[in-house]
Amino acid sequence: MAERIRMESNIRRAVKEEEFVLHYQPKVDITTGVVCGMEALIRWPQEDGTMMSPTEFIPLTEETGQIVPIGSWVLEQACRDIVAINIDYGKYLKVAVNISPKQFRQPKFLEVVRNIVTETECDPTFLELEITESMMMEDVEGAILTMKDIRSIGIALSMDDFGTGYSSLAYLRQFPLDTLKIDRSFICGMMESSADASIVSAICSIGRNLGLGVIAEGVEHEFEVPMLQEMGCTMIQGYLYGKPLPIEEFRAKFCEKNSPSDHGAATIAEREKYAISKCS
């Protein structure tokens, strides 16, 4: 109990003092190997120089409601960073931001998102929200309306950790989504377990047949790539291509000339066409 109280008060200070930082992990087009986007992942620098992982503090912030201001900060920072990257390098990358259930259920969620996009002058098509099924089950109809509103602004929606929650096919048909994100646990088990491989293959088929992009998370080995490609997976993310990095390192590694995101599309129109066909 004492540890929890200490942590809560430290988090309150961290929110006020803006102590959190974002790291970015590339998302790669499976057919071209080109970086087409990135996921923003929060980190909390500690006094001893280490970084606290979100798995250690996000659950508590969900319980206390502190995730709401933290989530807004993440969204705003991610929008600022993607606008700067796309302008500086003439790119059309998308940034994916994780949304917590509490954040998604806030009555003002849509208004907050809209205000942040406007204030940061972020083209909504640069932004993608990663949501999970569990956050929608309490009020399915309400969740569908929120999702429709988000997409109507031009922001993409991705279903994170797909396969681990309800994975209700009846709901999947109704949810206005752009991408399914296959959970890392299935990708890890794919080589050893034919059951995991079958699940990955089935998710790829469902995605393809529903006209959705399918991204595999946690790809660590080269040999997983042709297997995923064969199954119809469209994008990959994992340590094979890059670990989450601070923004400056991400820019140096993935945005500079001849980097894996430098796909040579000369005009905005070409980039737009590329981004729409590959990253939606």
Name the site residues for Ca ion (rule: CB under 5 A).
98, 130, 160-161, 183
User: Quick check: 160 binds ligand C2E (CB under 6 A)?
Assistant: yes
- Rounded to a whole number of angstroms, the minimum distance from the CB of residue 188 to ligand C2E is 8
The CA–CA distances, whole Å, from 218 to 163, 193, 223, 257 equal 14, 16, 13, 26
- Rounded to a whole number of angstroms, the minimum distance from the CB of residue 241 to Ca ion is 15
Comparison of 113 and 219: residue with beta carbon closer to ligand C2E = 219
193 binds, among Ca ion, ligand C2E, none (CB under 5 to 8 A by kind): none
Residue 77's nearest CA partner among 116, 109, 108, 111 is 116
The CB density around residue 181, as the number of other CB atoms within 10 Å, is 26
**φ, ψ at 147 (rounded to 5°):** -60, -40
CB 154 within 8 A of CB 135: no
Site string for ligand C2E, 195-234 (x = CB under 6 A): ----------------------xxxx--------------
3-state secondary structure 134-202: HHHCCCHHHHHHHHHHHHHHCCEEEEEEECCCCCCHHHHHHCCCCEEEECHHHHHHCCCCHHHHHHHHH
Cβ within 8 Å of residue 205, ≥6 positions away: 231, 232
- Rounded to a whole number of angstroms, the minimum distance from the CB of residue 160 to Ca ion is 4
Comparison of 40 and 82: residue with beta carbon closer to ligand C2E = 40
Beta strands in the chain (DSSP E): 21-29, 35-45, 51-52, 94-98, 127-131, 156-162, 179-182, 213-217, 235-237, 245-246
213 binds, among Ca ion, ligand C2E, none (CB under 5 to 8 A by kind): none
- Tokens 């393809």 found at: 208
Residues numbered 80-109 forming contacts with ligand C2E, rule: CB under 6 A: 98, 100
Comparison of 130 and 231: residue with beta carbon closer to ligand C2E = 130
Comparison of 41 and 199: residue with beta carbon closer to ligand C2E = 41
Bridge partner list, 21: 43
**Secondary structure of residue 28 in the 3-state scheme:** strand
User: Quick check: 239 binds ligand C2E (CB under 6 A)?
Assistant: yes
Residue 280's nearest CA partner among 126, 106, 113 is 126
Site string for ligand C2E, 249-268 (x = CB under 6 A): --------------------
- Residue 229 tokens, joined: 């490609």
- Rounded to a whole number of angstroms, the minimum distance from the CB of residue 87 to ligand C2E is 23
- Rounded to a whole number of angstroms, the minimum distance from the CB of residue 270 to ligand C2E is 30
User: Quick check: 163 binds ligand C2E (CB under 6 A)?
Assistant: no
- Total number of residues binding ligand C2E (CB under 6 A)? 23
User: Quick check: 53 binds ligand C2E (CB under 6 A)?
Assistant: yes
100 binds, among Ca ion, ligand C2E, none (CB under 5 to 8 A by kind): ligand C2E
Q: Which residues bind ligand C2E (CB under 6 A)?
A: 25, 40-42, 53-55, 58, 67, 71, 74, 98, 100, 160-161, 184, 217-220, 238-239, 244
